[in-house]
Amino acid sequence: MKLRILPFLLSLALFASAEIQGQTFDDLARRALAARDANDLPQAIDLFQQALRINPRWSEGWWFLGTAAYDADRYDIARDALARCVALKPDVAPAWGLLGLSEFQLGDYGNALRHIEQSLLDPRLDGQMARVLRFHEGMLLAHAGEFDRAMASYALFAHDDHPPTALLPAIGITALREPLLPSQIPPERRELVGAAGATVWAAMSQDEAHGAAAFQRLLSRFPASPEVHVLMDGYLLVAPLRAAGDEFRRELQADPSNSAAATMLACLLLNHDDRAGALPWATKAVQLAPKLSMAQYALGRSLAATADLAEGIRHLELAVHLDPTNIDNGIALASAYSKAGRTAEARAERDRTMELARRTVPHA
């Protein structure tokens, strides 16, 4: 998402008119503005630079040089010009934002985030520019590992009918909690990241039933992905029982062999403490997809709580075997071992899970 400056920002009266001293400066400034208006960016950049060497306190000129250089992809010139601009006029929010975008293009991510956030403090900021800055803020926050804040930045786009193409992989990175920029996604992971982003965007932008259906489709598409299982865990913790449960039941009525819907319905009921209600759905899920770790987890928890502890442990052990990186699997198995009086095994599994959590959960 590249912000183009000339079409909608250069006409704004952002600065007080500069007093032009001297015929040479007056001529250079006039010619620079004419070149800018004609979209002759190389000529405009050169003339603005000449004029600013004569009058370096021409704040409007630093702004014009910065915007022309940004549109010409000369981000080093844009950064330096906009830094001079905000030093002279610190209350001009668009200059802070464009400075941050220039720094983003140059890989200076820490300063880029700081200056973009400075710009976004101004409620008068142009709406289109605010959208571009929020998108970049989200990418930078995810890159820094601040995934919850990044997702909040993307909330601005929740009601778009057609989200920007670059938004879905950016949301996918955030949802999967990977500290990357979209350009850094390995080729072999682009399909998964894009699908995760589309799923989370659907949940953000549509009603609860559509969100449930989107997550069910994601699990159907990537049943063996540990990252998808973690994403499902997070979704199911907050999913509303009635809306999501009704959607999963509709899916199963339409297609009784839908293992993803059966699994998610069982897990949803477990999260709402309905272990007895979860048991038949978890049983069906395992029958349909015995190698799906979430299904084994759901059946193991249901059996351990309602019917057969030993059989529940067997299914939880299968869940851990299928997905040893899932913390919920380990916690449930350690709890079942403890309930069965298998103290040493409970301690060993608890220690393994705690070590896994230390390695995978970022520290504050």
Whether 13 has a pLDDT exceeding 60, the answer reads no
Residue 68 has pLDDT above 70, yes or no: yes
- Cα distances from 57 to residues 23, 67, 317, in angstroms, run 17, 17, 71
Asked if residue 78 lies in contact with residue 70, where contact means CB atoms within 8 angstroms, the answer is yes
For the chain, helix (H) and strand (E) counts, in that order, are 19, 0
Q: Does 362 score more than 80 pLDDT?
A: no
What is the C-alpha separation between 111 and 100, in angstroms, rounded? 7
Give me the mean pLDDT over the 58-70 stretch. Answer: 97
Residue 299, pLDDT > 80, answer yes
Q: Which helix (H) or strand (E) holds 1?
A: none
Please tell me the distance from the alpha carbon of residue 155 to that of residue 118, in angstroms, as a whole number.
19
How much helix, strand and coil, in percent to the nearest 5, is found in the chain? Answer: 75, 0, 25
Give the CA distances from residue 305 to residues 51, 268, 277, 292, 298, in Å, rounded to whole numbers and listed in that order.
78, 15, 12, 20, 11
The label of the residue with tokens 């000449």 reads: 50
- For 1, 168, 170, the CA distances from 190, given in Å and listed in that order, are 18, 11, 11
Q: Return the H-helix or E-strand segment holding 17.
A: none
Q: pLDDT (tens digit, 9 = 90+) per residue, 135-194?
A: 999 999 999 999 999 999 998 888 777 777 889 999 999 999 999 999 999 999 999 999
Amino acid 169: pLDDT: 96
pLDDT of residue 139: 97
Closest Cα to residue 302, out of 258, 261, 267, 257? 267
What mean pLDDT is reported for the chain? 91
> Which pLDDT does position 16 carry in this prediction?
41
Domain positions in the chain: 208-364
Instruction: Say how many residues make up the chain.
Output: 364
The DSSP annotation for 309-334 comes to HHHHHHHHHHHHHH-TT-HHHHHHHH
What is the rounded distance in angstroms from the CA atom of residue 28 to the CA atom of residue 20?
10
**pLDDT for the residue numbered 210:** 86
pLDDT-above-90 percentage for the chain: 80
Which architecture does CATH list for 208-364? Alpha Horseshoe (1.25)
Burial 288-323 (b: 16+ CB within 10 A, else e): bbeebbbbbbbbbbbbbbeeebeebbbbbbbbbebb
The DSSP code for 72 is T
Q: What is the pLDDT of residue 162?
A: 76
Return the closest-CA partner of residue 97 out of 125, 57, 77, 60: 125
Number of CB atoms found within 10 A of residue 72's CB: 15
Q: Is residue 357 pLDDT above 90, yes or no? A: no
Give me the mean pLDDT over the 269-280 stretch: 94
What pLDDT digit, counting tens, does each position of 16-57 carry?
444 434 469 999 999 999 999 999 999 999 999 999 999 999
Q: What is the pLDDT of residues 81-115, one digit of tens each?
A: 999 999 999 999 999 999 999 999 999 999 999 99
- Contact, 340 vs 310, CB < 8 A? yes
Higher pLDDT, 186 or 15: 186
Report the largest interatomic distance among the alpha carbons of the chain, rounded to a whole angstrom.
93
pTM for the whole structure: 0.83
Amino acid letter for position 357: A
